[in-house]
Structure 1
Amino acid sequence: MRVDLFDFDLPSERIALRPAQPRDAARMLVVRGQAMDDRVVRDLPADLRPGDCLVFNDTRVIPAQLEGRRGDARIGATLHKRIDLRRWQAFVRNAKRVRDGDRIDFGAGVTAIAEGRDDDGGMTLFFEGDEPVELLLERAGTMPLPPYIAGKRPADAQDRSDYQTMFAKQDGAVAAPTAALHFTPGLMERLASAGILTETLTLHVGAGTFLPVKADDTGDHRMHAEWGQISPEAAARLNAVKAAGGRIIAVGTTSLRLLESACGEDGIIEPFVDETRIFITPGYRFRAIDGLMTNFHLPRSTLFMLVSALMGLETMQAAYAHAIAEGYRFYSYGDASLLLPEG
């Protein structure tokens, strides 16, 4: 499909620079089939059925944004995928000033050696020393805010908590699974009281999620790889939900992509430990999920293509036009949508 079919105009003032407080006070556009309702996230229990299951991503965002120097050159690095205990793939700013074997000093006693370019357009960095890389990043790194926020303000101490979900346990993401930012302990209690089930999986979100689609046709776009895991126990519980007639509602496109990667043609969700490059565009047949809760996404992005595959391109164009007209807040710190294709 032509990428320009997924374009739309978004006023810059619609981009949220801070999350709603409290988190479940964010607005939520509910799209059932082609019908739309303006709600609030705390209304979610009333919009689901007893026996439905919300699936959360328990990845934890690490402070993966680094600023340093190689000689007199300023070098920026955003880590996006772990290779081993001391090596990470990174997108590097001013990379033309870095050669293989160069040492980059990120301050606070943190240095890394450039070890070559990778297929995703980045560079491999080897972090020197004996301390775990996670400790080095806590000392020298900052939260890797999305470019559309970082371009308007620097990351600060508040982002250390704001850009982390209440489910975050497994270190490794360099972008938050932002749909889950809306959840609070109080909301989780009300969901449980309403008979709504929950499950967790892990997908370490990479910085590649923010890369623009440069191709003119979706068939020419190469999706970034992300590592994920669904335990055998979680897969069994999710299949039991489906067998009992409950709906699987992915909280975030990351959960959705991993569930669909792990699901066979027979609709059975299998245990999964691997990387996925799944790219979902209109025409895709969903096998694992029955709905999606997600934020509002960038024009021409793979994520807007995904929601258009779930709901239909015309429906999502109408939903986004409504959201813009009604003042919904967009992107990572913005408002939510609940997308239910069967109404």
Structure 2
Amino acid sequence: MSTYPTTGLSGPTPTATVSVKPLVLHAPQRGADLHVRVTAPTTGTSLPVVLFAHGFGSDLDGYAPLVDHWAAGGFVVVQATHLDSKRLALPADDPRRPQMWRHRVQDMRRILDELTFLEAAVPGLSGRMDHSRIVAAGHSFGGQTAGILVGLRVRDPQTGAAEDLSDARVMASIQLATAGKGGDELTPFAHHHLPWLRDQDFSHITAPGLVVAGDKDDLPLSTRGPAWTADPYTLSRGDKSLLTVRGGEHFLGGISGYHVAETTDENPGRVALVQQVTLAYLRHVTGVDHTDWHHARTVLTADHPLGRLESK
């Protein structure tokens, strides 16, 4: 039997949760209605919100290890199925494909516009959400989406413009295993298939943020290796923290689902680490409680077997 090192971290006592899907937001200009899932604690008031963006090809049913943990820890988690999802299976020549990155941000802004509707649509949730405390989070492609909401500038490959698409309603971000700087560091594959990564400017991100990077996340998108995914931390300004997951590949031990085939580094210890650090950060950055975050910063030093946490 395999054994895994423990994190040595603590957290709040989990509470029961409820999840409702699909909640449908009409979106005529999108070409398809936006399907949303809301997962929330069954008790508590003034609940902060996590707006979560899935990775390329996933959907609103993904990332249960994170979503369940955050909701059980006192957060309302809102997920959508974006246009790049395999569920929608857009044809290769669909005119929306070059603007996938932008449609994702528009999806998130639509959710923010409709938070009151979504809250009322979940039995027992009405009046219990705190709309002033919203954190954007995302994995891989979703990390870019979350970053844009707090100031990441992406140069549109069609127009050449690098607009500010941030949203003041989002107070902080969590970016998990997401893309770094573009330019000459991108591989030909990334230049051709993911043109929205060619020019990313992190210098305008001033909101607090947590970046999670696996030190074995060697994606075929950059020539720099795993260090590339730490760029959202190293190249942005302000109050930022970086969790480096030891041995972590792109799915960080298995955060995208409980039984997913794409996980190449399956490791319950890594998943627990990401769960506990991200929840501690969410509680810290939204002002719920700072104890677990301060404890994590003390425990996750250079000699911890699972990861290292640093801040600037």
TM-score by length of 1: 0.25
TM-score by length of 2: 0.26
Which structure's CA Rg is the greater one? 1
